[in-house]
Amino acid sequence: MTPSDISAVWITLKLAFISSAILMLIGIPIAWRLSQSHWRLKPVIEALVALPLILPPTVLGFYLLLAFAPDTLLGTGWQQLTGTPLAFSFSGLVIGSVIYSLPFVVQPLQAGFEQLPRDILEAAATMGAKPLDRFISIVMPITKRSFITAASLAFAHTVGEFGVVLMIGGNIPGATQVVSIALYDHVETMNYVQAHILAGGLLVFSLLLLTAVYWGNRGARLWR
């Protein structure tokens, strides 16, 4: 692997870790609210969350690129806050990845929460457990499979993303160039040996991660 390939791997892992962490942080409350809500407009929110599943990544990337431009509210706000532009930056990649992978976190969590027997939460409340306590002591252990699935899918999906990164990342080696883009570059320059290493690596990594997820879910009941 060339030094720029190694840094691409490093950037990809960093992006996947940070994005997954942020995704879990915002995905859990969104999934919880959706699972508990009977709001009339809930399908609209669900559709918005699911949009990245069917939208070509380039569409999302295009709009993000426009939103990140220095003359927009988001672009100027970010520039004033951090002193660096958002477009073609690592932070921009994180924002893009989070939006892009959101359904992969929200959907398994929401499905898990919806299966949870609600009445045992009432029972916990009558024993003095406050809402956060109930979530940690009852909801999380019972739906832990959903948490593992959500986190794994968020990570794997961020590692594998291409279109959004291509549109908003700028392909800057050492800063925003991720593995999937580096692979694309190698193929463009007919550098098939390098391409094989990255492509094979991604293939094996993704297969292993998914196998681990399904292995863990094998015969899993809702609890224990």
**What percentage of the chain's residues is helix, strand, coil (to nearest 5)?**
75, 0, 25
- Rounded to a whole number of angstroms, the minimum distance from the CB of residue 142 to another protein is 5
**Please, which residues have CB within 8 angstroms of residue 207's CB and are 6 or more apart in sequence?**
none
Structure tokens at 48: 């918005």
- Residues in contact with another protein by CB under 8 A are 117, 119-120, 122-130, 133, 137-138, 141-142, 222-224
Of 14 and 145, nearer to another protein (C-beta) is 145
- Rounded to a whole number of angstroms, the minimum distance from the CB of residue 140 to another protein is 10
Of 116 and 164, nearer to another protein (C-beta) is 116
**Short-list 27, 207, 43, CA closest to 99:** 27
- Rounded to a whole number of angstroms, the minimum distance from the CB of residue 132 to another protein is 11
Q: What are phi and psi of 117, to 5 degrees?
A: -65, 115
Of 117 and 216, nearer to another protein (C-beta) is 117
- Rounded to a whole number of angstroms, the minimum distance from the CB of residue 128 to another protein is 4
Structure tokens at 82: 């951090």
Of 137 and 217, nearer to another protein (C-beta) is 137
Please state, in angstroms and rounded to a whole number, the distance separating the CA atoms of residues 194 and 186. 6
